[in-house]
Amino acid sequence: MKKLEIKTTFEVFNSIDELTSEVKSLMNQAIEIRKKAYAPYSKFRVGAAILLDNGKIVLGSNQENAAYPSGLCAERVAIFQAGAIYPDAKIIKLAISAASDNNPTVSPIPPCGSCRQSIAEYEFKQNTPIEIFFMGESGEVYKSDSINNLLPLTFDKTSL
């Protein structure tokens, strides 16, 4: 037997104000679209903003449904929209902001497992890392240089 050790590294920004102007703008768009999320059941709102290599920005917010799990997370709404509208564009950056209607969300909220898998699929497809920035309603912002930090043992087409 041997042990496999996996190490990940994130950059931590004390607030959105420490981000570059480009990323700050992207995060502010994620925050604004978060406010338009349809979350009547969980009261947990998430916004995502994607910067593509063609300069376009694609937004998404979570969309819930009474027939769980028919809804979609903000990240997948944005990723799938980008794939549909700009199929040849590469995703460069993804900004995510999450907030609860019930409690302050001050810790960075990372993408869920399904969203991590979708991000991994696009990163694999484009063969280019996607920078991922995520935060709560306020407070610190975490930056990952690739989905590999959040999902180090990926399942992709080479696994099939």
Q: How far apart are CA 77 and CA 47, in angstroms?
A: 10
Provide the annotated binding site for substrate: 62-68
SS3 category, 47? strand
Cis peptide before 69 (omega within 30 of 0): yes
CB burial of 119-140 (b: ≥16 within 10 Å; e: otherwise) equals bbbbbeeeeeebbbbbbbbeeb
Using a 10 angstrom Cβ sphere, with 0-12 exposed, 13-18 middle and 19 or more buried, the burial of residue 46 is: buried
Residue 75 annotated in active site: yes
Provide the annotated binding site: 62-68, 73, 112, 115
DSSP class of 63: B
Which of 75, 131, 137, 140 is the catalytic position?
A: 75
Provide the annotated binding site for Zn(2+): 73, 112, 115
Q: Which residue numbers are catalytic?
A: 75
